[in-house]
Structure 1
């Protein structure tokens, strides 16, 4: 993507849930609080992981939030506080490019209202 602006201010934050209802409820609370411009739920997906000394296989739903780097820490804290898991997966990934109008929409939707 030649001549694209620096998008270091936009990030994606992903987490997983064992119930679609919890995924949707947290997504709504995050967007309503303007901590993210949007949340997308994928699933069900199959997760295989080690927990309590045993390999587990579980069905989960992945939620990906689009937000600004400035709000990332606050959003991570919100997810961890509201999540039902003892140790929820929360991964922040920088956005390195994309459609500038969409990225500007993310910025606009995460600004506080006057």
Structure 2
């Protein structure tokens, strides 16, 4: 089975085919779903579970707590907003090149509403979602400040408390110590 490592996940060709089959199934919502707003009321949910949830308990992917696995390190997700795609790609590329992060997702279409110098502003932006080691936050923050066009760039870190052991190990191995 062919598999591809993407920044967000390890994706197999089988999983992609399965997802594409689901598109048609979910496009025809029943009236019971519309009335209740609950996916459990859809008549085909048990069928989908039996057809597409073929993993046996021994093959289940298990999440891991960060401190429980010596192959991982305490990790974080960092949010940084940028004014446009070009600025986002440039900053994301320099962050990954410097091994300050394993992966940076660029999310387009963010609209930010904020107060600056006594005035309410609304601006289109893009959001960088950066996955890195907790220990790299000071260096990442300095890198963003030095390479960002905003006077006060957003740098907000959230802890990763667990996840796929393989992904978290890849994050560790893709960043500098």
Structure 1 and Structure 2 fold alike (TM over 0.5): yes
Kindly provide the CA deviation profile for residues 23-43 of structure 1, in whole angstroms up to 9, marking residues without a partner as x. 100100010110100100001
User: Which structure dedicates a bigger proportion of its chain to strand?
Assistant: 1
Q: Distance in 2 between matches of 1:72 and 1:80?
A: 12
Alpha carbons of structure 1 residues 47 and 3: separation in structure 2 relative to 1, 3 Å: closer
Q: Which runs of 5+ in 2 are unaligned?
A: 1-61, 68-72
1:3 CA drift (Å): 7.8
RMSD of aligned residue pairs (Cα, Å) = 1.6
Which among 125, 131, 147 is matched to residue 82 of structure 1?
147
Q: Answer yes or no: is 1:32 the counterpart of 2:97.
A: yes
1:12 CA drift (Å): 0.9
- Number of corresponding residues: 111
TM-score by length of 2: 0.59
Q: Which runs of 5+ in 1 are unaligned?
A: none
**Which structure carries more relative contact order (alpha carbon 8 Å, separation 6+)?**
1
Alpha carbons of structure 1 residues 52 and 22: separation in structure 2 relative to 1, 3 Å: same
The equivalent residue for 1:43 is 108
The equivalent residue for 1:6 is 66
